Amino acid sequence: MHALPGMVVVLLCVLLSSTAACYPEGPEMTTADLPSIACRLDALTPAQRAREGELLEQHLAATLEVRERDDGFSFRYTADVAQFSRLAEFVGLEHLCCPFLDFQLEWAGAEESPWLHVTGGPRVKEFVESTFTRRKVTKD
């Protein structure tokens, strides 16, 4: 029964992150191995694209705090189960159209607020900041 949390973490990592992020002990990746920084506009249906736009607006409105990281940005939200579910849907759609980004949705047991971490290294920080933020960013 204790293996379940670990299995959930691995499953989320596989679903929401690149293989390199899940298995850092693997072979070193070079810049040539990384996906290009280009959104796949054909990855979503028109209905999915519209929903992604709605969820992006909800993310922007609901973000309480933005923290800059070395490898991207982290976003904090209120402790709201419905909001957390919408964030998971948002991450799923963003992952389809932006495969160069890594997403981690986190709501740790003792933490009051959930966080969304959007990373991909220094090469994607400008894109993440311009797309996913409207508020003042604090350095982490």
Q: How does 102-111 read in b/e, with b if 16+ C-beta sit within 10 Å?
A: bbbbeeeeee
Cα separation, 4 vs 10, whole angstroms = 10
The predicted model scores a pTM of 0.72
pLDDT in single tens digits along all 140 residues of the chain: 444 333 233 333 333 333 333 333 445 655 556 667 888 989 999 999 999 999 999 999 999 999 999 999 999 999 999 999 999 999 999 999 999 999 999 999 888 999 999 999 888 999 999 999 986 566 66
Cβ neighbours for 64, distance < 8 A, ≥ 6 positions apart: 76, 77, 78, 113
pLDDT of residue 19: 31
pLDDT of residue 29: 53
Tokens encoding 63:
């973000």
Cα separation, 121 vs 109, whole angstroms = 27
Q: Any idea where the domains of the chain sit in the sequence?
A: 37-139
Displacement of CA 65 from its chain's centroid (Å): 15
- CATH number, span 37-139: 3.30.1360
